[in-house]
């Protein structure tokens, strides 16, 4: 595997950064997870846009332009023979002192890894997933804003640990007010009648790229989306439920906290959405092969 680090490609064994990098010491940095399908990098511009938004929010200057990052991401896929896979783009604060002060860091590190990923067992996509609500509260906006896709992911990891310990793959996280925010790595949606609902971004949900794609695709089916405050009651009594995420794609949910959702099987709208999403990935994205 060839890994991009600051403008050059290195072997997996030689792709290194300093142990004094604040990305390692303090989780001080930002990242993006991006997918490649059918020889194209899906929604690449949107992912790079979000990376720059996250970086701006933490006063981190990315030492590459938007276009340079897009080109480097495509090149990373090309160098690794990736036509269908997963790209992790990371920007750290850079090496500094053992103190917190980010102003003592120099040379932000840009890292791009193009590889494969499998978040959930294939059977869950066919049968649907069972999930559980956990006690770990989603970060407050005035703490670490959930809109920032930062390297400090401990909030999500703690919730994931709770889910795994309870025997589940994924978990619902509530915000400080008790409303549904998102899952540990995915946005959550429900369908009731001819209406789709998802937590508002202000609830603590990530500005998901796949989230917006789902809203757009379902809208094309004539189903509008609203973003109210949702409680677990709303989820329990939904006709359908599914999760979205770049790594996860679209995953049906058939049971939450032991409450069966709908008829206990992936719903018709969810199935249509999965099909429409797969069709979109065939034609949308930056081509990997040189023109």
Catalytic annotation, residues: 149
Torsion of CA 265, 268, 270, 275, to 10 degrees: 120
- Report d(CA 101, CA 105) in Å as an integer: 8
- Report d(CA 238, CA 50) in Å as an integer: 31
Q: Where are the beta strands (DSSP E) in the chain?
A: 2-5, 8-11, 29-37, 40-41, 85-92, 109-115, 129-133, 171-174, 180-183, 187-192, 195-197, 225-226, 240-245, 249-256, 259-260, 286-287
Distances (CA, A) of 159 to 16, 38, 132, 171, 199: 30, 33, 10, 7, 18
Nearest to 62 by CA among 26, 111, 104: 111
What length does the chain have? Answer: 291
In 10 A of CB 207, how many CB atoms?
17
């Amino acid at each position: 595997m060839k890994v991009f680090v600051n403008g050059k490609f290195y072997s997996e064994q030689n792709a290194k950064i300093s142990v004094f990098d604040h990305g390692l010491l303090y989780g001080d940095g930002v990242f993006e997870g991006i997918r490649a399908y059918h020889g194209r990098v899906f929604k690449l511009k949107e992912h790079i846009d979000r990376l720059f938004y996250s970086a701006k929010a933490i006063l981190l200057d990315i030492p590459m332009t938007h276009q340079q990052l897009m080109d480097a991401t495509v090149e990373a896929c090309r160098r690794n023979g990736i036509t269908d896979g997963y790209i992790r783009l990371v920007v750290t604060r850079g090496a500094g002192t053992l103190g917190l002060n980010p102003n003592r860091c120099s040379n932000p590190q840009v890292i791009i890894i193009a590889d494969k990923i499998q978040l959930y067992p294939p059977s869950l996509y066919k049968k649907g997933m069972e999930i559980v609500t956990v006690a770990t509260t989603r970060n407050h906006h005035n703490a670490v804003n959930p809109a920032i896709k930062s390297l400090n992911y401990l909030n999500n990891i703690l919730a994931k640990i709770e889910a795994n310990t309870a025997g589940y793959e994924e978990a619902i996280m509530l915000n400080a007010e008790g409303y549904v925010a998102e899952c540990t790595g995915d946005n959550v949606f429900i369908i009731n009648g001819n209406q789709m609902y998802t937590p508002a971004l202000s609830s603590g949900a990530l500005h998901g790229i796949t989230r917006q794609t789902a809203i757009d695709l379902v809208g094309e089916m004539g189903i509008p989306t609203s973003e109210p405050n949702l409680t677990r009651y709303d989820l329990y009594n939904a006709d359908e439920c599914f999760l979205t995420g770049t790594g996860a794609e679209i995953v049906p949910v058939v049971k939450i906290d032991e409450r069966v959702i709908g008829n206990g099987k992936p719903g018709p709208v969810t199935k249509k959405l999965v099909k429409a999403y797969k069709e979109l990935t065939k034609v949308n994205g930056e081509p990997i092969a040189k023109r």
